[in-house]
Amino acid sequence: MAEEQSPTEASSKTVTLRIAKSNPEHDSASQFAEFKVPYERWTTVLDAILDVKKHMDHSVAVRYSCRQASCGSCGMKINGRPGLACFTKISELNSDVVTVEPMNNYPIVRDLVVDLEGMFSTHKKMKPFIINEESEVTANTKEFLQTPEQVEEYIQFSNCIKCGLCNSACPTMATDSSFLGPQALTQAYRYVADNRDKGKNERLKIIDESHGIWRCHFAGSCSQVCPKGVDPAMGIQMLRGYLLGFKK
């Protein structure tokens, strides 16, 4: 498609933004539309997409919300690597051309928007809440104090914003769409490792199945792309420790 230029150009620097466009109801493959977009040092990929949407092609489909790497909505492939569009600056990509595509390993809804329903339903299967008969609040409820060491066991894993980037980077998910995936396995670990929780055996049973934890072959790409500093590959290894009896 011909390259269009933003009328709001105020910066001397411009980047060519290539946006994958497709509607699975009509198209068998994506086409790329190209736009010339001005940017400053702080312009994010999401800013550039929204500039295109406002001034050049309002049909571009993109999902976003918080614009501060908290909601996890704007995950996409940016120059081939899964990332949050609101958390990726054009200036840091060091490229005259930025290509944005929908995340791998999810069904495409349209353009840059993928269907995350499968990830959320697998996440729910992990029972992502504290299981403890004492978790009902009553008149006798007291604080459940934890030591810093006990908190350290799970705290990084509670930073997951469910953006789905780790599942998108996972080579096992690319070949086995039934694989539970790093996002869900990490959340299983987050609760198993919490000493307030009593649901360890339930969760270990859920993950110890044919499309479960043993399908991970430890590529580690999930941990490389996580925007919140979660290390899903480590969480998966720690969970295996419980199943193999190294951890109690």
Note the residues at the interface with ligand SF4 (CB under 6 A).
Answer: 72, 160-166, 183, 186, 226, 228, 230, 232
CB of 227 to ligand SF4, least distance (A): 6
Nearer to ligand SF4, 15 or 74 (CB): 74
Nearer to ligand SF4, 98 or 161 (CB): 161
CB of 223 to ligand SF4, least distance (A): 8
Nearer to ligand SF4, 172 or 183 (CB): 183
Nearer to ligand SF4, 19 or 170 (CB): 170
Nearer to ligand SF4, 88 or 183 (CB): 183
Cα–Cα nearest to 186, from 213, 211, 208: 213
Token pair 């694989």 is found at 179
CB of 189 to ligand SF4, least distance (A): 11
CB of 241 to ligand SF4, least distance (A): 19
**d(C-alpha 4, C-alpha 14), whole Å:** 12
> Which residue type sits at 43?
T
**d(C-alpha 84, C-alpha 46), whole Å:** 8
Phi-psi region of 122 (alpha: psi -120 to 50; beta: other; left: phi over 0): alpha
CB of 222 to ligand SF4, least distance (A): 6
Contact status, residue 165 vs residue 75, Cβ threshold 8 Å: yes
Strand partners, 75: 84
